[in-house]
Amino acid sequence: MRRFRDIPISAKLTILMAGMALASLLVGFAAMTALDARSLRRELVNNATLMARMYSEHCVADLAFGYRDDARQILEKLSLAKEINHAAIYDQYGKLFAHYSRAGADSHGTPPDTLAARASAAHLSGGVLEIIEPMSYKGVTYGTLCINASTSELSRRIFTKIKVLGVLAVCITFLSLLISTQAQRLVSIPILKLAGMARRVAEAKDYSMRAGMDRGDEIGALADGFDAMLSSLETRIRERDTAEEALRQAHSMLEEKVAARTADLKLANEELEAFTYSASHDLRAPLRRIDGFSSLLEQECAGMTGAGARDYLARIRKGCRQMAEVVDDLLKLSRIMRQGIQFEKVDLSALAREAAGRLLEAEPGRAVKFKAAENLYVTGDAGLLGEVIGNLLENAWKFTRKTENAAVKFGAAEQGGEMVYFVKDNGKGFDMKFYKKLFHPFQRLHSPDEFPGTGVGLSTVRRIVERHGGRIWAEAAEDKGAAFYFTISAPKNNGPVLPALPS
């Protein structure tokens, strides 16, 4: 069964208007009928009581002197009143003295033979009104007059009102239907038109439709608002389509530019790789010859040259070794950039202990306090991460060479929900105003005579960390040591291999 709120608006209007009219009619009729019935009952009782008093005064003498026929003749005059069933006069002993009965009356038309002495009273019950009136003269009661009247007139008048109500109900119902039809034309039909239009717009996605209702009431305001909304949607969709088309064109142009830049980058990397290999091979041979002939010259002319010449030869050989280190570091950086990454579970603590062991073997005379945290595992390439740990520890080892009670520490701490690994030392440190140079190739913060090196190591570390999805930074102060921090965000699962950078 459908709920009232789910039925059409036109049916709701018809039901509400007809229901309101009928309810008002029923309430009004009920009130009027109740008031009329009360008024009619009161009128009937008053008339019957007045009639009883008049007849008791006319018949009291006949009762007192025993004139039955005269009393009966007076009572028969009640035949003019059609509502009187019967009237009877009883003597002082309650015996029937004279009576009148309406012809054709039912059982109510025959009075009882005796009547108990009763005071003046009016009793209405079962459609019959009974009036009891004592018959007195100069304070002496000679008998009682009893009148029995029918209330059929009251019922007839009420029934007449009911018939009038029926006619009014039919007329009001018809009028309600006419009004509801007009209301539908003015209210429900325009609303249903708007609802149908909204449904068509939703189905067809056609926002060019318009209601076009020229009205000054609330429905007209609703239609105008609906048209304004459709106009706004149409404009926005047109702008969106234009923006999407522009975005597609820009995306197509960007793809072309990316493809061109990728090709250029690939060509540049190929040229750089060729240059690196060529430079390394072309430089290695001359460097070896220069170093070799310088060594022979130093040996053959050991006793023939002065101290200045021997110092020059030593500087030549030292420059050759430095150049060889630079070439080796460049080759290492090039190899790392071209090398694919094999992800696996890596024990950084073990890598740190191995790198520290190599440094101690290389400089057994150094007294460095080294400490590495245990069980630091990540997912990454073991070889490349070994380069990171080795380079950072080698730097810490190098820059604590002139520090008493040198100490180097490798560990990790959680910061902002991620694990941060670090290498700290209490060595030379550096001024943070030169921090931007730190991770660029060949950028050194100390002179080669004070702390030897090529300036390529930290650049290599940065490239490896970035290829593992991490980042690296440092904090330091002059003569107060340095701390290098890095993160690793490589995939958690083992096995996949990341390709090398484009070449």
Residue 500 confidence (pLDDT): 43
Q: Does residue 100 carry a pLDDT above 80?
A: yes
**Better-scored residue on pLDDT, 267 or 453:** 267
Of 173, 203, 224, the position where a domain reaches its end is: 173
In a domain, 333, yes or no: no
In a domain, 88, yes or no: yes
In a domain, 361, yes or no: yes
Q: Any idea which residue has 């309406």 for tokens?
A: 102
Residue 138 confidence (pLDDT): 85
Query: pLDDT tens, 247-256?
Result: 988 888 888 8
Residue 291 confidence (pLDDT): 64
CA angle 483, 486, 492 (to 5 degrees): 150
Of 122, 156, 173, the position where a domain reaches its end is: 173
Q: How is residue 272 written in tokens?
A: 């750089």
CB contact set of 80 (below 8 Å; sequence gap of 6+): none
Query: pLDDT tens, 294-307?
Result: 676 666 666 666 66
Q: Does residue 350 carry a pLDDT above 90?
A: yes
CB neighbourhood size of 125 (10 A):
8
Of 140, 173, 206, the position where a domain reaches its end is: 173
DSSP string, 313-350: HHHHHHHHHHHHHHHHHHHHHHHHHHS-EE-EEEEHHH
Distance of CA 413 to the CA centre of its chain: 39
In a domain, 321, yes or no: no
In a domain, 371, yes or no: yes
The Cα 437–Cα 442 span in angstroms is 9
Taking CA atoms, 319 is separated from 243, 275, 291, 310, 323, in Å, by 62, 22, 9, 14, 6
Query: pLDDT tens, 127-162?
Result: 788 889 898 888 888 889 898 888 777 777 777 877
How many Å is the maximal CA-CA distance in the chain?
198
In a domain, 15, yes or no: yes
pLDDT-derived band at 319, boundaries 50, 70, 90: low
Max mean pLDDT among 30-34, 95-99, 116-120, 213-217 falls in: 95-99
State how many domains the chain has: 2
In a domain, 299, yes or no: no
CB contact set of 393 (below 8 Å; sequence gap of 6+): 352, 355, 356, 359, 408, 410, 423
**Domain range holding 430?**
339-498
**Better-scored residue on pLDDT, 417 or 300:** 417
pLDDT-derived band at 125, boundaries 50, 70, 90: confident
**Region 340-355: what's the mean pLDDT?**
89
Q: Does residue 492 carry a pLDDT above 60?
A: no
What CATH number has the domain bearing residue 451?
A: 3.30.565.10
Secondary structure of 438-489 in HEC code, one letter for each residue: CCCCCCCCCCCCCCCCCCCHHHHHHHHHHHCCCCEEEEECCCCCEEEEECCC
Burial of 212 from C-beta contacts in 10 A (0-12 / 13-18 / 19+): exposed
In a domain, 223, yes or no: no
What CATH number has the domain bearing residue 104?
A: 3.30.450.20
Residue 419 confidence (pLDDT): 92
Q: Note the pTM of the prediction, 2 decimals.
A: 0.42
Question: Across the chain, what does the average pLDDT equal?
Answer: 77
Q: Does residue 32 carry a pLDDT above 80?
A: no
The Cα 405–Cα 395 span in angstroms is 17
Whether residue 351 contacts residue 396, with contact meaning beta carbons closer than 8 Å, is answered with no
